[in-house]
Chains A and B, each alone.
Chain A
């Protein structure tokens, strides 16, 4: 269990919009180690879902295109594959689950039908599909799988539907599971069950997870490595402990400080002023510069590369200076912040 199973190199994806070409993903790099979880975290519109869809080659048509870059699964570049070849990979080596299980499931087919379909689509017989479906539903913790096989999506609760989605994703023992906001639509207690299930299955099957989320609590619970995305770029890439205990990029710091908690009661929360620049007209320099409290003129000259600091990499030219200042002026005690953090 070593070495990356999935590697994304210099991925650039654009969307054609009425206001021009939007570079939704603009030079993204990261790796997912076999059996580990990489979280991509960021606020809405930062490009995290488009990154996931680019990997799966399920970009919205006809607007979305991968411009350049590589998506290496086990060393093989998925972007070189034809549509038909990619179909074989999807659902077999790479599987994906989405936020809203109701819209991802087909309302007119039974659950059994849809779980079996993913087995049959990759060469299994009908009989094998049925037995495997039963096995999978049982595996994702559905009580009375015989009954659920015959039910339709609308008869199930949100948590149950997400379990079914996971069952479908697991049908062919994928190497990588891409989970795009898998628990955002669920209640906290159900979220806790789904996250535990994902973790359990990962340990058992050894698959890697690429977890797309806006929820820093989910990141802290699940991730091994984290990419913090902002405005189409990875701003910081670090092991999960570093992100929470030793954030480097000003954006990561601001994000953590804006979380409400018991400790901040009676005080104002940190606020990120201004707004995200437009994807059709990215600024020339650092994309966070217009909102950054550490901004200097040099920040706006060019997009900063990722600088290494300890185990972290961050896209900031003042990384070392800020780290020294930040540690003395830290207002937030790591590990003692609030619970239930929803970004």
Chain B
């Protein structure tokens, strides 16, 4: 087993905003390093503002780090020429939280699914690409008839499936999943999680799973990195993080999770 993605001493400053008076730059990501092993899921957890999504954007090459390295498949993402960058974009895909925002409302599902194939020259002709698109839809549990429809005609869960199919359309090896189920109801969340697990198995995909939902982390992740204020404060296997957390912040985070057993309430003392 080897690392498909290596993040080394990544740092991102956002900064110095203001017209007359410059504010101090904000350090959003501070010396973050981790590796994602091939075929595995690394979960990046933390509260809002902890910098976890910023790390995701830098891993995707959508945001330039202030310093540090992102190495994908042995190659540094930060110093690629444009041809290499295009090839990289095919291998790393992303699914965001909000499938309303991440699908173009003016494109049919057919267009959304074939656009990436065209750019990366997958499929010999239109017909072949459409066949692939239909296969992808079947793979995410949707009917091929929906190809002619628009994103607004679907529910949140269906849209998220389309977003996953679109990401898969260019046959990536690695996916950044940024809160992929946070906007979904539990019954739909379970469908999407099952789907992601199956796709990971069948296509030996690696995931960087960014979420604040610790139950999903316990279910999905192999390794967990806990982020707070731009830093990774603790890392380890699911068992280590959840059963024997070492840092105060991790403990505080874990003790904030509501219990699902009314006999073992954690947050609120039993009423006298």
Check if A and B associate. yes
Instruction: Determine the distance from Cα of A343 to Cα of B212 in the docked complex, in whole angstroms.
Output: 13
Binds A, one of B28-36, B73-81, B90-98, B263-271: B263-271
Q: For the complex, is A68 an interface residue (Cβ under 8 Å from B)?
A: no
Min distance, Cβ B37 to any Cβ of chain A, angstroms:
17
List B residues 63-81 near A (Cβ within 8 Å). none
Min CB distance B207 to A, Å, is 15
Taking the closest CB of chain B, its distance from the CB of A342, in whole angstroms, is 5
Interface size class on chain B is 35 or more
With A260-B190, A265-B218 known as contacts, the answer to whether A203 contacts B258 (CB < 8 A) is no
Q: Which of B23-69 contact A (CB under 8 A)?
A: 47-48
Contacts of B190 in A (CB 8 A): 258-260, 269-272
Given contacts A260-B193, A337-B260, contact A343 B186 (CB under 8 A): yes
Please determine whether B194 and A199 come into contact, CB atoms closer than 8 angstroms. no
Q: Is the C-beta of B153 less than 8 angstroms from some C-beta in chain A?
A: no
Q: Complex Cα distance A339/B173, Å?
A: 31
Specify which chain A residues have a CB less than 8 angstroms from the CB of B254 in the assembled complex. Answer: 339
Chain B CB count within 10 A is highest, among A261, A268, A271, A343, for A271
Residue in A189, A202, A240 with the greatest tally of chain B CB atoms within 10 Å = A189
Which partner residue on chain B sits nearest A199 by CB separation? B268
Given contacts A199-B268, A339-B218, A340-B215, contact A244 B187 (CB under 8 A): no
Q: Find the B residue at minimum CB distance from A339.
A: B257
If the complex has contacts A192-B267, A258-B186, A260-B218, are A268 and B258 also in contact, measured as CB distance less than 8 A? Answer: no
Contact mask B215-229 → A, CB, 8 Å, 1/0?
A: 110111000000000
| A339 adjacent to B219 (CB under 8 Å) | no
A44 to B157, CA, bound (A): 12
Q: How far is the CA of A261 from the CA of B193 in the complex (A)?
A: 12
Which of A214, A221, A272 has most chain B Cβ within 10 Å?
A221
Taking a contact as CB atoms under 8 Å apart, the answer to whether A254 and B187 are in contact is yes
How does the 8 Å CB contact mask read for B182-203 relative to A, with 1 for contact and 0 for none?
1001110111011001000000
- C-alpha spacing A341/B219, complex, angstroms: 11
In the complex, how many angstroms separate the beta carbon of B246 from the nearest chain A beta carbon? 18
**Is B253 located at the chain interface by the 8 A CB criterion?**
yes
How many A-B residue contacts, CB cutoff 8 Å? Answer: 151
Q: Is A188 an interface residue (CB 8 A)?
A: yes
Give the interface centre of A254, A268, A340 by most chain B CB atoms within 10 Å: A340
Interchain CB contact under 8 A, B264 and A269: no
A268 to B191, CA, bound (A): 9
Q: Which residues of A contact B218 (CB under 8 A)?
A: 260-262, 265, 338-340
B267 touches A195 (CB 8 A): yes
What is the chain A residue whose CB lies nearest that of B198? A268
Which of B215, B254, B258 has the most chain A CB within a 10 Å cutoff?
Answer: B258
Assess whether B262 is in contact with A259, with CB atoms less than 8 Å apart.
no
A264 within 8 A of B: yes
Say yes or no: B262 contacts A223, CB within 8 Å: yes
Assess whether B214 is interfacial by the CB under 8 Å rule: yes
Which residues on B sit within 8 Å (CB–CB) of A336?
A: 261
Question: B204 an interface residue at 8 Å Cβ cutoff?
Answer: no
Decide if A241 is an interface residue (CB 8 Å cutoff).
yes
> Complex formed: what's the CA distance from A289 to B15 in Å?
55
Q: Which residues of A contact B255 (CB under 8 A)?
A: 192
* Minimum distance in angstroms from A220 CB to a CB of chain B: 5
Question: Quick one: given A196-B267, A258-B189, are A188 and B253 in contact (CB under 8 Å)?
Answer: yes
Does B155 make an interface contact (CB < 8 A)?
A: yes
Contact B194 A189 (CB under 8 A): no
Q: Which of B155, B256, B259, B262 contacts A241 (CB under 8 A)?
A: B262
Given A255-B186, A260-B220, A261-B218, A338 contacting B260 (CB threshold 8 A):
yes
Q: How many residues of A contact B (CB 8 A)?
A: 51
Q: Once the chains bind, are A220 and B261 in contact (CB under 8 Å)?
A: yes
Closest chain B CB from A181 CB (angstroms)? 13
- Restricting to A241-260, which residues have a CB under 8 Å from any CB of B? 241, 244-245, 254-256, 258-260
Question: Which of A188, A202, A240, A256 interacts with B257 by CB under 8 Å?
Answer: A188
A-chain residues with CB within 8 Å of residue B189 when the two chains form the complex: 258, 260, 342-343
1/0 per residue, CB under 8 A from B, across A321-341: the answer is: 000000000000011111111
Residue numbers in B under 8 Å from A61 (CB-CB): none
The answer to whether residues A220 and B262 also contact, given A258-B187, A343-B186 and a CB cut-off of 8 A, is: yes
Given the interface pairs A223-B262, A269-B194, the reply to whether A340 lies near B268 with Cβ below 8 Å is no
A44, A221, A260: the one contacting B265 at CB < 8 Å is A221
Given A221-B268, A262-B219, A338-B260, A44 contacting B185 (CB threshold 8 A): yes
The distance in angstroms between the C-alpha atoms of A187 and B266, with both chains bound, is 16
B267: chain A residues at CB < 8 Å are 192, 195-196, 221
Q: Roughly how many angstroms separate A260 CA and B217 CA in the complex, as a whole number?
A: 9
* B263 pairs with A241, CB closer than 8 A: yes
Extra inter-chain contacts (19) besides given A43-B186, A260-B216, A342-B186, CB under 8 Å: A191-B256, A192-B255, A199-B271, A203-B271, A216-B260, A218-B258, A220-B260, A221-B262, A241-B262, A245-B263, A255-B186, A260-B190, A260-B218, A260-B220, A261-B218, A264-B219, A271-B191, A272-B190, A338-B260
Q: What residues make up the interface of B, taking CB atoms closer than 8 Å to A?
A: 47-48, 155, 182, 185-187, 189-191, 193-194, 197, 212-216, 218-220, 238, 242, 252-269, 271-272
| Complex A-B: 25 CB contacts under 8 Å | A43-B187, A188-B212, A188-B253, A189-B256, A191-B256, A192-B267, A195-B258, A196-B267, A199-B269, A203-B271, A203-B272, A215-B258, A218-B258, A221-B265, A241-B262, A244-B260, A255-B186, A265-B219, A269-B193, A270-B190, A272-B190, A337-B260, A340-B213, A341-B186, A342-B215
